[in-house]
Amino acid sequence: MHIKVYESLPADAAMIRSEVFIREQGFLNEFDDIDKRAVHLVAFDGVRAAATCRLYRDEHERETYVIGRIAVIKEYRGKGIGSLILREAERKIRVLGGIRAVLLAQKSAEEFYIKQGYGAFGEICYDEFCPHIRMEKSL
C-alpha cells in the first residue's frame, strides 16, 4: 500500500468518496469549496485506489488542522487502511506545523477514532441525516 498526496482533488479521491458517501451512505452534498483548498491523500493497492481523506488548516486556530472525508472502499475495510491513511494525514499535519487534529466523525465510527487516540468533545450534531461527533487529538 502506498499513499500519494495531492494539492487538488484527484479523480481517484472523488471516485472513492462518491462510492462510499453518496452511493453507499446516501449523502447528497459530498463535494464543497473546501476541496479546492484541502490537501488530499489517496492510498493505493498497486494501481487501485483504496482509501482517501483530506486535510486543511483551521481558519481560527493556526496550529490546528481538520481531517475529513476519510473513506475506504468496501472490499478494503477491516485491513488497517483507514488507520494507515489517518496516520499519514497526521504526519502531513506535523510537517505543515500543526500540533492538533480535529475531525467530525460519524457517530458509528467513533470507536475507530478512539482507538487512534482521538477524544470526543461537544454535542452530537447532524450532517444531513447522520449523527456526528467532534473529535480531537494532540499531535
pLDDT band at 128 (very low <50, low <70, confident <90, very high): confident
Domain locations along the chain:
2-138
Each residue's pLDDT tens digit, 57-66:
998 888 999 9
Q: Do 102 and 120 touch, CB atoms closer than 8 A? A: no
Q: How confident is the model at residue 127, as a pLDDT?
A: 85
**Measuring CA to CA, which residue among 123, 119, 80, 126 is closest to residue 102?**
119
Percentage of the chain exceeding pLDDT 70:
100
Q: How far is CA 50 from CA 33, 62, 73, 75, 94, in A?
A: 24, 31, 5, 8, 24
Q: Is the pLDDT of residue 99 over 90?
A: yes
Each residue's pLDDT tens digit, 36-78:
999 999 999 999 999 999 999 998 888 999 999 999 999 999 9
- Average pLDDT value over all residues in the chain: 95
Q: Which CATH number fits domain 2-138: 3.30.2310.20, 3.40.630.30, 3.90.1150.10, 3.40.640.10?
A: 3.40.630.30
Each residue's pLDDT tens digit, 83-92:
999 999 999 9
